[in-house]
């Protein structure tokens, strides 16, 4: 599989508007779906139109349902981003399946708290930056395509890592991990980009996993089993 694309996001991808006292409303403008989903939507949509024109009612209905599902899968909803710069937000939608303290050798080079979020096929698959700061590096690593919920997927699966230094000088590592079905990682971020909490930076197609490594001492605000929303749910507070 090729290295994930890092095309620059155009201005149509994001728009930050002032929200209420609790956060900033991040509204997608233009199409309500990720641009990477358009080819996947176009195929069943074309079949729907052709079948309708030919009078194939059953085929048209089935293709229409497929079009709706694929468009729903690539949906790109607005989120309310917490304002406090010390907060770390979830990088993706899904369920927290693990919180472990372990040595992180790539970036933190120290013991860290790993928060793992599993994204099933029904979750929003847009990925968001967890904290404010600077992206010091983006590293793609080829690998296997094990079921993303397996513990060893952290080290063995194909992945893409964002290495972020926060405004306080702390290090946070955010990793997109491919899975058994999700074999296409897309990343729009590049080294030296400004990291803006809650900003969209990529997606993983059709089920995946996100690992966030936080400094020891971070005050966690989630537990195993919690359901989270990318860019909105607070994972923890940096100390």
- Residues annotated as part of the active site: 208
Contacts of 84 (CB under 8 A, 6+ apart): 237
Cα–Cα distances (Å) from 76 to 13, 19, 118, 161, 170, in that order, read 9, 18, 18, 22, 30
DSSP assignment, residue 130? -
Contact 130, 91 (CB under 8 A): yes
Contact 72, 41 (CB under 8 A): no
Tokens of 77: 């909803």
Orientation of helix 57-73 relative to helix 38-54, angle to 10°? 160
Bridge partners of 18? none
């Amino acid at each position: 599989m090729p290295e994930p694309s890092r095309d620059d996001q155009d201005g149509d991808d994001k728009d930050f508007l002032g929200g209420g006292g609790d956060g900033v409303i991040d509204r997608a403008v233009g199409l309500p779906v990720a641009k990477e989903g358009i080819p996947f939507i176009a195929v069943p949509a074309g079949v729907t139109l052709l079948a309708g024109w030919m009078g194939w009612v059953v085929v048209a209905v089935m293709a229409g349902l497929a079009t709706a599902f694929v468009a729903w899968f690539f949906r790109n909803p607005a989120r309310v981003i917490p304002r406090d710069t010390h907060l770390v937000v979830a990088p993706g939608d899904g369920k927290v399946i693990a919180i472990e303290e372990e040595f992180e050798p790539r970036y933190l080079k120290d013991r860290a708290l790993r928060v793992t979020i599993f994204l099933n096929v029904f979750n929003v698959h847009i990925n968001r930056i967890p904290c404010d700061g600077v992206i010091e590096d983006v590293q793609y690593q080829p690998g296997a395509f094990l079921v993303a919920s397996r513990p060893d997927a952290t080290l063995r699966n194909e992945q893409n890592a964002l290495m972020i230094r926060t405004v306080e000088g702390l290090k946070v590592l955010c990793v997109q991990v491919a899975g058994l079905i999700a074999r296409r990682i897309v990343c729009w971020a590049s080294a030296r980009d400004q990291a803006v909490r809650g900003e969209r930076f990529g997606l993983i197609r059709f089920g995946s996993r996100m690992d966030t490594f936080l400094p020891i001492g971070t005050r966690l605000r989630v537990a195993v089993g919690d359901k989270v929303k990318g860019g909105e749910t607070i994972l923890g507070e940096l100390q």
